[in-house]
Every structure is written in C-alpha cells, then in structure tokens.
Amino acid sequence: MPASFLTRRRQSLWAKSGPTPRLLFGSFLIATVGLFGLTRNDIFGLSFAWPHAALWGAVGWGRVGLSIRPMIILIVFGAIQDVIFHAPMGSFEVVNLMTYAASTAISAEFDVTNEPLIAIIATTLLFAGAFLLLWLMASTLEDHPVRLLPLIAAMLTTGLLYALIHKVFDLGRRPGETVGQAS
Amino acid sequence: MARSGRSAQKGVRRSPKRLVLGVLIFGFAALIVAQSAPQISQFFNPVRASVGDRLGGGEQIGLWARLTGRAAQEQRIRELEAQVRDLSRYKAAAISMADRLEAYEEILNLLGEPPARGVTARVTSESEGPFAQTLLANAGRSQGVEPGSVAMNEGGLVGRVIQLGERSSRILLVTDFNSRVPVIGEVSGVHAIMQGGSTSSGTLTDLPERSDFIEGERILTSSEGGAYPRGLVVGEVHKSGNDWRVKYAMSDGSSGYVQLIPPPTVERPISAGDLPALEDGTSASPTQGARR
C-alpha cells in the first residue's frame, strides 16, 4: 500500500476540515464560553475571571490573513460584549478588530506557524495589547483609571486557555487558498 | 527574526479587505465618540433593555428539562424560589421596621419613612468588566420595579437600578467608581458621602471638619439627595491611614437575590403662585401660613 495513502488515511477529521467548519466550531466555542460567563462567576466563594473568549478568535483567525467572515463574527461578539459589560456600543468591536488586524499584520511579517518562539511572543503581545487597549478605552470613557486587577486576571485566564486550545482557532488555510496550496 | 516574506509578495496587490477593516475600526471608534452625546447613547437603550430581558428574564422551563422529563421538578423549584423571595422580603421588611421603630421611639413627632414595598429578584448575571460594575436581576417594569429603585440583599445596600426593562433591571453596584451614596454614622451621626471604587470597601469623603466617625460603627444611608431611603445598612466603618473606609455589608449576603425597593418620593413644595388666594386677593406666603 503506498505510504501517501496511509498518511492521508491517518489524518484526523479536524485536519481534513476546511476554514468554514473550523470558523463555525471556533465561534461555537466562543459563544459557549461567553454563555457560561453570563452566569454568576463566584462558586463556593471563589471568584473566577471569565476569559474574553472573542480575543481567541481575533488572535487565531488573524494568523491566516484577512477575511470578511471572521470580521463579521468578531463584530457580532463585540456587540454582545458591549451589552453584557454595559460598555458604550463599539468598544469591544474596536478591541476585537484591532487585535485581529494586529494578528494579521504580525503573521504577514513573521513566520508564526513554523517558529514557536515567534508564535508565543506574538500571541503574548497581542493579548497584552488587546487588554491594554481595553484598559485605555475603559479609563477614557469612564473618566477615571479603571481597576487593573480584574483585567489582568481576565488576561491571564484568556492567555492560558488559548495556549491549551489554540488549534481550535487555526483556520488551516489562507483565504482563497485551496487544500494543496496550504502551507 | 524569521520573516515569511509574505508581505513582500503581497505588497504589490493591496487587498480591499484591509480597507474594509480600516473603515470598520474607524466607524466603530466614531460610534464610541458619538455616544458622548446623550441623544445617541439613548438610541441604544431599548436594545440593551431588550437584551437584558432575554438574559435576565428567562423564567420559562427550558427545552432540555421538558425532554428529560424534569419539567415538574423545575416547576416546583420555581415555586419554592418564589416562596423564598417572598420570605426574604418579609424578613428584610421586619428588620427594617424594627430599626425604624427604635428611631421613632427616640424621636417623637418624626415624619416616618413610607412602609417598605418592593420586589425580590434573582441575580442572573454579574459584570465585573472594566466598565460599570453592574448586576442584572430578573425583575423589571412588569413586576413593579420602578426606575431608580434601591437594591438590597441580606447583608445590606447593593446599589441602584440604572436601566429598566420589562422583565429585567440593571443595578449599578455601590462598589462602582461612579457610585456616590450619602451616608450617616449610626452612633456618631456624622454625615459623609461614600464613594465606590473597590470591591471590598468604599471611601468616605466630604466629612465634617470637627466631628469624626467611631471605629467599627455601622454606616447607614442618610437619604440626603433623595436617591436612597434613610436607614439602610451600608457597612461598617474602619480607619485606614488618614481615610475612613466602609466595609460593604452586602458582601455578607450571597444568596443571589436582591430586593428592589422603590426610591423615596418627596413631594415638591407648592410654589407661592399656586397657594390659595386670601380674601383680599393676595396669595399667602409660607410665613403667613405658619402664623395662622
């Protein structure tokens, strides 16, 4: 039996799936985490920092280049976050889209897929930048410096969870690429 | 650092998606700035209220419970929850009335507070994000909650209703930086303003120069400004450096329910022009009324 056939047969369902199912699954995961985030976040006296799950999508989906569908999904999640956090409409949309744009720009400049160190540094910078932007925006709009501790807790939770599940937000191919072209 | 060289390849043909992304970011930034005008920010209030209704007012039995045959149990749980709400309302009313009775016995001829009315609601979500610190409760206009209602839990004062939907209310917590509560020391009688900003304790500002609080005394609402009724427990006062800080009493209650009490209403005084005219045709002044 040819070796290429065996390799193809060993491929998982996730490896074979294209950007659309991956995008849908990632969105489902973000929505699920967001839904749990709506419930009370203290259990048995312990307070949990729920992750800003939409940033996973912004960082992960941006790694394969710009595309319209992730932008729309990020805007929808941003609007939901605005309502939940009682923020002025547009705040989380800007944070999500800026992070998406930064992720795209970094992946266009550097090889984030084959260089683990660059991938880790880029991801860390993206999350730190996103939360810094959020803090700046919230402090400006609320007319006072808002508390940093909950944001840092949320950033750590978001970053740590992303490290575990980042493959879910890998779309696999750049927009317009066919299966054979994907690197 | 390793460069992929993609930018060099793509530099020649710029994607219109970049333009779309830029326009979107600029558009949303403009939307944020535009909301500094109250007319524009109010435009989104119905959307927020209706989403709050969806999030907070989910009282119907879910599809999953129906499919698994747990609808009857769920129904019973709802009934018991309603009973708990009622009982917690009676308990809070009893405590509040006992406090007031004590005050009335001390000071005769005091114009009393209106009897406690209110709705007890379940806290369905809590937002501890970088923006306003709020709670969402599952009772709204249709349950009799009024705009500006005061939220209490078993421990004490929680906050005020800042947004009201048909079946949900958003409560601004006293811990929020923008929250200001006029308070009074239970024993010392010193008035001050409590400012939020921390999850565990609030800061007392606008203190009188000559008198001071007593370490550990209870802090109550003073009803100045008319936003809060008098005598609601806010917390316990402690000295921290040069500042007086209030440890929130609401932290002692964590059942997940809040009681929403209507805000106090103070009748506006009648203007001199509306007073009944005297026999000689001139209108009576308040001093004249007092003399008679």
Instruction: Compare all CA atoms of chain B with the CA of A97 and give the residue at the minimum distance.
Output: B25
Selecting from B7, B44, B170 the residue whose C-beta is nearest the C-beta of A108 gives: B7
Count of other CB atoms within 10 angstroms of residue B182: 18
User: Running along chain B, 292 residues long, what does each successive block of 10 average in pLDDT?
Assistant: 48 71 91 83 79 64 65 79 82 79 69 65 76 84 88 88 88 88 88 84 84 86 85 88 87 78 79 66 47 38
Mean predicted confidence (pLDDT) in A72-88: 89
ipTM over 0.85: no
Domain ranges in chain B are: 52-265
CATH number of B52-265: 2.40.10.340
Residue with tokens 């990020």: A74
Partner B contacted by A114 (CB < 8 A): yes
Phi, psi of A20 (to 5 degrees): -65, -50
Other Cβ atoms within 10 Å of A117 Cβ, number: 9
Q: What is the DSSP string of B106-137?
A: HSTT--PPPPP--EEEEEEEEE-SSS--EEEE
The reported pLDDT for the residue numbered B282 is: 52
Nearest chain B alpha carbon to A66: B17
Question: What 3-state class would DSSP assign to A6?
Answer: helix
Do residue A87 and residue B47 have CB atoms under 8 angstroms apart? no
User: What are residue B169's DSSP bridge partners?
Assistant: B137, B164
Nearest CA distance, A59 vs chain B (angstrom): 15
CA A170 to chain centre: 10
Q: What average pLDDT is seen over chain A?
A: 82
β-bridge mates for residue B159, sequence order: B151, B173
Given an 8 Å threshold on Cβ–Cβ distance, is B28 in contact with A93?
yes
In chain A, domain spans: 19-38+51-169
Query: Does B20 contact A71 at a Cβ distance shorter than 8 Å?
Result: yes
- The more confident residue out of B78 and A131 is A131
- SS percent in chain B: helix, strand, coil, step 5: 35, 25, 40
Angle at B87 between CA B101 and CA B99, to 5 degrees: 15
* pLDDT value at residue A125: 94
**Is the pLDDT assigned to residue A183 strictly greater than 50?**
no
- The count of CB pairs under 8 A between chains A and B is 129
Answer whether A95's CB lies under 8 Å from A68's CB.
Answer: no
